[in-house]
Amino acid sequence: MASTSSTAAALTQSQLGKLGESLVNSKYSQKQESNADDYGYDFLKSHGKNPWSMAMAFTKLGELEGSGANGLSQMFSSHPSTPDRIRHIIDRCHKDKIAPPKGCTLK
């Protein structure tokens, strides 16, 4: 690795360890966030609320985020990507045969 990149060569073993730890911890946090999304979906559904609202809220969040996130920053993010979160909720709504509310343009 050191022969291909001067940046990689400059990293100390300690820095590489911290980098690896950050990557592992971010993936663990993403799993927790996905579990929280599923909990929120189940909570809304069990209380007679339409869980499409989650996908709609994530869509608004995605609009606010803009295109600033790149692949590298997403690797270390504590949250799954917003498009993935939207798709997961929509897929669950379709699976559960829950219709989107009037005016919802998501499919």
Predicted confidence at residue 17, as pLDDT, reads 64
Q: How far apart (Å, rounded) are the C-alpha atoms in residues 14 and 103?
A: 53
| Contact criterion met (CB below 8 Å) for 107 and 90 | yes
Predicted confidence at residue 62, as pLDDT, reads 84
The answer for residues whose C-beta is within 8 angstroms of residue 85's C-beta and 6 or more apart is: 34, 37, 58, 79
Q: How far apart (Å, rounded) are the C-alpha atoms in residues 4 and 47?
A: 56
Predicted confidence at residue 99, as pLDDT, reads 95
Predicted confidence at residue 20, as pLDDT, reads 65
Query: Which tens digits make up the pLDDT trace of 49-97?
Result: 999 999 999 999 888 877 555 554 554 466 788 899 999 999 999 999 9
Confidence of residue 37 (pLDDT cuts 50, 70, 90): very high
Question: Does position 13 have pLDDT exceeding 80, yes or no?
Answer: no
Global pTM reads 0.66
Predicted confidence at residue 38, as pLDDT, reads 96
Tell me the C-alpha to C-alpha distance, in Å, between residue 7 and each of 4, 11, 12, 26, 29.
9, 7, 10, 23, 28
Mean pLDDT value across residues 18-39: 76
Residue type, 46: S
Q: What does pLDDT average to over the chain?
A: 79
Place of tokens 């400059």: 10
